[in-house]
Amino acid sequence: MTENTRGTGFSPSNTIFVSLCFEGPDTRYSIAGGLGTRVTELTETLAHMGYETHLIFIGDPAEEPVEYRVNGKLILKRWSQWISRYYPNGVYDGEEHKLFDYNESVPYHVRTAIIEPAVAQGKVVVVMGEDWHTAEVITRISDDLYWHGLRDKVLLLWNNNSLMSMGRINWKRLNYVSAITTVSRYMKHRMWEWDVNPLVIPNGIPRRFLDPVCADCTNQLRDIIKGEDGSRGFLFKIGRFDPDKRWMMAIEAAARLKYSGHPMRMVIRGGIEPHGAEVISRARHLGLVVRDVEARRPSPTECLDLLRNAGEADVYNLKFFVPEEFVRMCYAGSDATLANSGHEPFGLVGLEVMAAGGIAFTGSTGEDYAVSFENAVSLETDDPDEIVGYLIHLARHPEDREKIRQAGRQTAQEYLWESVLENLFGKLEYLGRKQSLIF
């Protein structure tokens, strides 16, 4: 290591980051869930902090192979585009073909195009892989670097965001060649089952999520959903139609509220998963009136008009891409956002609700940030009556509602990406010392 890095720790002058992930920032192709959001915001924040950052992901085949953002500090590299042209339906269309190409071609590029030039300049390279798709490529990068005498110049991390396909990972090999991290204490404990003990580095949210939500628009939304006399409750739920998200619990709670003299309306936005048909069928079976609301990429104002003209219903099923601004209106304007997952590695929606000044009903798994009836409401069971009971309590105690909304905003500030990256750099200092990179 050259003298200019001794005693200085990690800084933009001596460190380059490489992020490896299947998902990425291409909204129409590469973002399939929270993983795409995570790597997009993490890499953008690193670049804004001055770090040269490379993000190698399965990108939209119609976009440029290489794109420079954030004054050239963020370099997007859209991988396997030649394969993606045959699979136009998103990042996981043709998944195994893309994975084979990624594993075969990324290690050579990372070494020759990024690591060798960086090491020649006396810089440290931090390579971070995300989720099971990159477990193999991380180990291959390690092997390739070792063969070329570069392994001791690079920090390798692999981060786990979910329990998906964990049986496909060679854990002993991965644990030997890289540091393993994850996003919550819950996930850390779940990963003990695989004889690994990861470091915890939580997710974050971008600073823009703390911007005030349009008050006039939010009031209009409340009037549309709650009625001008405010007599109806307003529930909101967004996420994939996955049984882990406990959609059935939310629908059952809505029905019990309706038939126990606490009328409400629920706005939902799911995905294209088959479970969605079961959820809607169950809602109708319980006597809830469901209206599908369809459009093509409406603006926030157009979203308001769509709901205003949708007619009477108990459940409004939004079947279109919902703009971020309108989602934040729903967070802020609803009585509760039901982020009530039974298995949640981190729970990014809960933090987004808090940042918007809303009330998040979370599960009790990876949502380390949630303290029930302080900054959120944590659900301990899968009993719909738990949702019903807490909603009625909050309706009767406006002071609790206000306390939760204010405390939630304060919590969200602690999870801005800039703050989360302080955690990351602390872990990197520890790992760097173990590898004699930083003194």
Query: Are residues 155 and 199 located together in one domain of the fold?
Result: yes
Query: Are residues 310 and 359 located together in one domain of the fold?
Result: yes
Residue 229 banded pLDDT, cuts 50, 70, 90:
confident
- 439 pLDDT exceeds 90? no
Residue 167 CB contacts under 8 Å (≥ 6 apart), including other chains: none
- 4 pLDDT exceeds 50? no
Going by DSSP bridges, is the β-strand pair 52-58/15-20 parallel, antiparallel, or unpaired?
A: parallel
Question: What is the C-alpha to C-alpha distance for residues 432 and 155, in angstroms, rounded to an integer?
Answer: 7
Query: Are residues 14 and 38 located together in one domain of the fold?
Result: yes
Query: Are residues 185 and 214 located together in one domain of the fold?
Result: no
CATH number at residue 240: 3.40.50.2000
Residue-number span of the structural domain to which 407 is assigned: 208-414
> In this predicted structure, what is the pLDDT of residue 181?
98
Going by DSSP bridges, is the β-strand pair 15-20/124-130 parallel, antiparallel, or unpaired?
A: parallel
Query: Are residues 423 and 407 located together in one domain of the fold?
Result: no
Task: With respect to residue 439, please indicate whether it lies within any of the assigned structural domains.
Answer: no
Task: With respect to residue 145, please indicate whether it lies within any of the assigned structural domains.
Answer: yes
Residue 184 CB contacts under 8 Å (≥ 6 apart), including other chains: 200, 202, 345, 346, 347, 365, 366, 367, 368
> In this predicted structure, what is the pLDDT of residue 3?
40
Mean pLDDT of 40-61: 97
Query: Are residues 123 and 140 located together in one domain of the fold?
Result: yes
Q: Tell which residue, 402, 241, 393, 372, has the closest CA to residue 317.
A: 241
> In this predicted structure, what is the pLDDT of residue 8?
66
> In this predicted structure, what is the pLDDT of residue 438?
61
More confident residue, 321 or 185: 185
Per-residue pLDDT reduced to its tens digit, 124-136? 999 999 999 999 9
One-character DSSP codes across 358-388: --EEE-SSS-TT--BTTTBEE--SS-HHHHH
Task: With respect to residue 354, please indicate whether it lies within any of the assigned structural domains.
Answer: yes
pTM of the model: 0.91
Query: Are residues 92 and 215 located together in one domain of the fold?
Result: no
Token pair listed for 414:
């602690």
**Where does residue 10 rank: exposed (0-12), middle (13-18), buried (19+ CB within 10 A)?**
buried
Going by DSSP bridges, is the β-strand pair 74-79/66-69 parallel, antiparallel, or unpaired?
A: antiparallel
> In this predicted structure, what is the pLDDT of residue 32?
84
Question: What is the C-alpha to C-alpha distance for residues 56 and 296, in angstroms, rounded to an integer?
Answer: 30
Token pair listed for 49:
């902090």
Domain count, the chain: 2
Query: Are residues 212 and 198 located together in one domain of the fold?
Result: no
